[in-house]
Amino acid sequence: MLDELPEEFRRQLHNIEIVVQKRPSKHQLAEMDLESHEEVIYGLYEGVPLPNRSTFDPPILPDKITLFSEPLLSDFPNPDELREQIRLTVIHEIGHYFGLDDDEIEKLGY
């Protein structure tokens, strides 16, 4: 999946992990300004986007992309559709890693 990214982007992916959990935690919902599971969330980027980093900053923990399995499996029971949605979700969250907001990512087709 990550090998589909252009080389210039792959080279810049450092110190990032991709994890899977069932659903967003209360803390993650609060960080997204959501109080319930009413809005479907497939993934979340947590970290400091590359454009916001400075060489003067202390070393940071790995950035994290979390995929939420329950909404993905519920909304995409077809394995091919599920695989495609996971791909799109990971690419979308990588967009946040590069400092893009949702509108900019949407304009790129993700």
Cα–Cα distance, 106 to 67 (Å, whole number): 18
pLDDT tens sequence across 4-53: 777 877 888 888 999 999 999 988 988 888 765 567 899 999 999 988 88
pLDDT tens sequence across 46-93: 999 988 888 787 777 899 999 999 999 999 999 999 999 999 999 999
Let me know: does 27 contact 44? Beta carbons within 8 Å.
no
**Domains, the chain, ordered by start:** 2-45+62-107 (3.30.2010.20)
The structure's pTM equals 0.85
